[in-house]
Amino acid sequence: MRKKWGMILGLTGMMLLGAQSIYAAEAADGTAETTDAANEKETAGADDIESKIKKGGFTAGASVHDPSVIKDNDTYYIFGSHMESAKSTDLRNWTGFSSGVNAENKLFDNLFDGEEDGDPAAFTYVGKNEEGGYSVWAPDVIYNKKMGKYVMYFCTTSSYVKSNICFATADDIKGPYHYEDTFLYSGYSYHDVKESNIEELMGTDPRPYTAASYDNNNWPNCIDPDVFYDEDGRMWMVYGSWSGGIFLIEIDEETGYPIYPEADEENHVDSYYGKKLLGGYHNSIEGPHIMYDETSGYYYLFLSYGNLQAKGGYQMRLFRCDTVDGTYTDAAGKDMYLFVEHKDHGLKMMGNYTFPSLTQTYMAPGGQTAFEDEDGKLYLVYHQRFAKTGELHEPRVHQLFRTKDGWLVAAPFATDGETLKEDGYSGDEIQGTFYLVNHGTDISDKVHKPQKIQLNADGTVAGEELKGKWEAEEGTPYIDVTLGENTYTGVVLEMTDEAGNDTMCFSAKGDNNETIWGVKYLLP
């Protein structure tokens, strides 16, 4: 028989198959409190909670946009757009070590060679941007085992489609990186296709790539490269932004160059750009990152939606697949190869939000990457903007957790050494007043503000606007929270927030592609 904490009052269908459930806390004499009595106690105690919550935040100490992360020995390194980079030993406090798109930045040793005579090699095709300078965006650094080198894949660009992907190599993770070559081009027409490698690879009549103008509804913008190893040790690059969508191409580990595939129209494989995974028609999808997780057996595809500005609705979404080349689907079971409206596709992991303890409203998180540390913990690394600070941004790192159905959810606060309690918590520990944020599926400047709810001793959820039930699986960190017709599956953990408050949190995802966060402040 499955053990319960407290009584179940009028709730049916709440048993978890093959697992025990906790509904909330027993009274000291072993009897359960009534719903009304519990609600009265919790409501009375909740009235002055916010006055006791410490308010605050923290600064990361660096500003790195579109950060990619790599660990070398005991130090984490992030590399971002505009040749910015930083390092940390705790994923929280960062120290920059390169900045500025110019020859004085020693991240590269030859990127600007020949500038006095014209555009350097990495910029010959794209030229200068509208400000009259050069754009170096969204790098990704990986240690190539066969080359025995750190390899940086990055893009140079000058317009919303005229871009190319390049690579550089180094013996030390901090550089200097030596520009090697450019291998993927976008944004050309028949007037300037000869400046790319299209004709060399595809022949002198490279249709359907060229026309009077570039078909950016169907072909990619060659930026935002992300390179990774699959479960078999093969190397791949996923890339793309807006335009024709997100594409995947295999990388030759021996050389660092792409392995241009044979065309396969039925499976959406192009002989130059590789396989189209999703997106297109200039929908606001970019910053792809793929991480293989051996524990779950899934490839997780992280994406940014929206415009990157603070009020642009930037946010992070998630898809998954059990093979590297798709088809990637979201928490609702939908793929996104053919579609028009993308806001309802993809599990929304995080958007604009705030909590009572935060002195800053968090806006436009994105440009993400993820990784598994040596201790098995998963982390999400991204850049974060804030309300009322213009376009100021900083790196943030949140721990990721696997749900019981194989999805990933992020902790509500920046990592600070927290560890998931694998055997979970009792009903006594869980029940109480929570501040709930639902990230929704919108792509907008809306700030998702917390609503106060009670997780009651009888397994019900009560709030001014929200009603439902909750259920925790005994001996595990798993929790289900049902609000209206939607059930969200996730984990419970304790962690310290950015203001220094001890909290109990839950992070859970729904089959409606929404993520909810709940925070209970553990006040003295």
**Element at 418 (helix H, strand E):** none
Residues in contact with 263: Cβ distance below 8 Å, sequence separation at least 6, in sequence order: 269, 270, 271
Tokens for 471, please give them. 């259920």
Catalytic residue, from 26, 84, 270, 286: name it: 286
Amino acid, single-letter form, for residue 217: N
CB atoms inside a 10 Å sphere around CB 136: 24
Q: Residue 12 in 3-state DSSP? A: coil
Determine if the peptide bond prior to 220 is cis (ω within 30°): no
Catalytic residue, from 33, 66, 140, 514: name it: 66
332, 357, 327: which is closest to 342 by C-alpha? 332
Based on the residue annotation, tell me whether 418 is a catalytic residue of this protein. Answer: no
31, 26, 47, 43: which is closest to 459 by C-alpha? 26
Q: How far apart are CA 488 and CA 513, in angstroms?
A: 10
CB atoms inside a 10 Å sphere around CB 74: 7
Q: What are phi and psi of 511, to 5 degrees?
A: -70, -5
Based on the residue annotation, tell me whether 66 is a catalytic residue of this protein. Answer: yes
Q: 3-state secondary structure string, 203-238?
A: CCCCCCCCCCCCCCCCCCCCCCCEEEECCCCCEEEE
Cβ atoms of 9 and 24 within 8 Å: the answer is no
Q: How far apart are CA 492 and CA 506, in angstroms?
A: 4
Q: How far apart are CA 503 and CA 495, in angstroms?
A: 5
Q: How far apart are CA 216 and CA 214, in angstroms?
A: 6
Q: How far apart are CA 97 and CA 416, in angstroms?
A: 23
Active site residues: 66, 286
